Amino acid sequence: MSTFGVENRATMAPPVARSIETRSLLVGVVFSGIAIVGWFLRPDEFFRGYLLAFMAWLGVTLGSMAILMVRHLTGGGWGMVIRRILGAAMRCIPLMTVLFIPILLGLPRLYPWARDLSTIADPHLRQHVEELTKSYLSTHGVILRAAIYFSIWNLLSFLLTRWSREQDRPNPRDNSSRFRAVSGPGLILYAFSLSFAAIDWVMSIDPSWISTIYGLMLLIGELLSGMCFAVVVERILVKYEPMSEWLKPDYVHDHGNWMLTFVMVWAYFCFSQLLIIWAGNLPDEITWYFRRFHGGWSAVGIALIFFHFVVPFLILLSRPFKRDIRKLVWLAVWLLVMRWVDLVWIIEPNFSPTLTLNWADIILPIAMGGLWMWFYFHNLNQMPLLPMYDPEAREVLVPAHE
């Protein structure tokens, strides 16, 4: 290993990344075309599907950023080998910032507080929403706060990327301490900003309802999405140099363990919320579950218990499964689908009392996914797959023992 530099093709993503980039763009453009037609024909459904798609892809983006910051704090080869995979997802934040704008155009279609309040039948609810819109849930407030959240996320992504890029060249100073100095406060900022974003963008669809664990529930879902997506990309890259040299079963095992942890914590948060609200059975809280236990939505809830928790949990207990990327990738894809189902279960019952799935709930995630993947693989192609001049990169470069 004599010269490792940006110019060295051997450390860059393989050509397959470029062909995925082109194909994703094609998918994105075609489905966006359909979606735009839908916007004019059925705007209500369009915006619901748009919010769903936005939250799903924002989850992969921010989840990757959070895992990256965890890696900067803890170190370890598992994180080094997927660092640039996560980093490319994190650099989709500017794209997500732009994609947020249409939500602002659809505010009255999505949120009761942005509509004419006199249409709210329940006088108590109307009074409460009136007070809330004066102080917190106003259009101005939501835009202002969104600007703050996106500034925080873009700034974190900018700093982490810039210092990471410095590690592609011989660099007199070690950036590890800078990474740590940003990642600690960064994770705190992420937790707070995401929680309030979750309240603004999703929880406030039902302004009468609250749950204090809500932000954490969405947060853990994002971490799970981020890790699963990284596993999918590492599966694609491991067929080619250089990832085939670097990715050791030990790292895959660690990624599987992270997935297991996130799946368990997700179940823990969801169960805690269910048990506390069910046992309290208070009229202004139980509404959330009441909607979701009726009109066919309970089937989605039961599916989530089994296919977002029980089955992945049992499979992830197997050590041989976790160590084999060709097997683990299937579960990662599966969990990404379940993340979508979870978001459907969180968002859609607010709009429809019976189980319904619109064209937009499927078309929009694919359309946005196509654009996102195009941007993602573009990012991935920009930088080598490993920051060669990070002192910890050595661990990945040492040949595997097994």
| Stretch touching another protein by CB under 8 A, among 17-25, 130-138, 154-162, 233-241 | 130-138
Element (DSSP H or E) covering residue 138: none
- Give, in order, the Cα–Cα distances in Å from 316 to each of 86, 112, 229, 274, 342: 22, 41, 16, 24, 19
CA distance 208 to 346: 15
191 binds another protein (CB under 8 A): yes
Interacting residue with another protein among 27, 154, 155, 268 (CB under 8 A): 268
Query: Of residues 119, 212, 314, 320, which one binds another protein by CB under 8 A?
Result: 212
Which residue of 146, 216, 315, 363 would you call a contact of another protein, by CB under 8 A?
216
211 is a site residue for another protein (CB under 8 A): yes
Instruction: Based on the shown chain and the rule CB under 8 A, indicate whether residue 302 belongs to the binding site for another protein.
Output: no
Decide: is 128 part of the binding site for another protein (CB under 8 A): yes
107 scored as a contact of another protein (CB under 8 A)? no
Distance CA 120, CA 87 (A): 44
Q: Does the protein bind another protein through residue 1 (CB under 8 A)?
A: yes
Binding part of the chain for another protein, among 8-16, 82-90, 204-212, 232-240 by CB under 8 A, reads: 204-212
Applying CB under 8 A, which part among 34-42, 227-235, 269-277, 368-376 lies near another protein? 269-277
Q: Give me 257's structure tokens.
A: 């363990």
Residue 231 CB coordination number (10 Å): 25
Span near another protein by CB under 8 A; candidates 100-108, 230-238, 360-368, 388-396: 388-396
> Contact between 39 and another protein (CB under 8 A)?
no
Residue from 202, 277, 331, 343 that binds another protein (CB under 8 A)?
277
To 5 degrees, how large is the angle CA 308–CA 310–CA 313? 90
Q: Are 284 and 111 within 8 A, CB to CB?
A: no
Q: Output the CA–CA distances (angstroms, integers) from residue 130 to 108, 117, 124, 372, in the order listed.
A: 15, 7, 10, 37
DSSP string across 235-269:
HHHTTSTTHHHH--HHHHHHHHHHHHHHHHHHHHH
Q: Is residue 314 a contact point for another protein (CB under 8 A)?
A: no
Binds another protein by CB under 8 A, chosen from 2, 118, 119, 354: 2
d(CA 288, CA 290): 5
Closer to another protein by Cβ: residue 296 or 391: 391
Give least dist CB 372 to another protein, A. Answer: 29
Q: Considering the rule CB under 8 A, would residue 401 count as an interface residue with another protein?
A: yes
Please count the residues of this chain forming the interface with another protein, following the rule CB under 8 A: 42
- How many residues would you count in the chain? 402
- The residue range among 141-149, 303-311, 347-355, 383-391 that interacts with another protein, by the rule CB under 8 A, is 383-391
Q: Determine the longest span between alpha carbons in the chain, in angstroms.
A: 74
Q: Which of 7, 318, 391, 398 binds another protein (CB under 8 A)?
A: 391
When asked if residue 131 is in the footprint of another protein (CB under 8 A), the reply is: yes
Q: Which is nearer to another protein, 42 or 126 (CB)?
A: 126
DSSP assignment string, 186-221: HHHHHHHHHHHHHHHHTGGGSTT---TTHHHHHHHH
Cis peptide before 242 (omega within 30 of 0): yes
- CA-to-CA distance for 332 and 303, rounded, in angstroms? 17
- Of 65, 66, 103, 199, the one binding another protein by CB under 8 A: 199
Grouping H, G, I as helix, E, B as strand and the rest as coil, residue 4 is: coil
Quick check: 191 and 219 in contact, CB under 8 A?
yes
Tokens standing for 213? Answer: 């664990």
Nearer to another protein, 45 or 200 (CB): 200
Q: Which is nearer to another protein, 127 or 151 (CB)?
A: 127
The CB-of-128 to another protein minimum distance in angstroms stands at: 5
* 132 lies in the site for another protein, by CB under 8 A: yes
Which CB sits closer to another protein, 166 or 352?
A: 166
Q: Does 400 bind another protein (CB under 8 A)?
A: no
H or E segment to which residue 181 belongs:
helix 176-201
Alpha carbons 147 and 58: distance in angstroms, whole number: 15
By CB under 8 A, residue 174 contacts another protein: yes
The residues of the shown chain that bind another protein, judged by CB under 8 A, are 1-4, 128, 131-132, 136, 170, 174, 176-177, 184, 188, 191-192, 195, 199, 210-216, 268-269, 272-273, 275-277, 279-280, 282, 284, 388-391, 394, 401
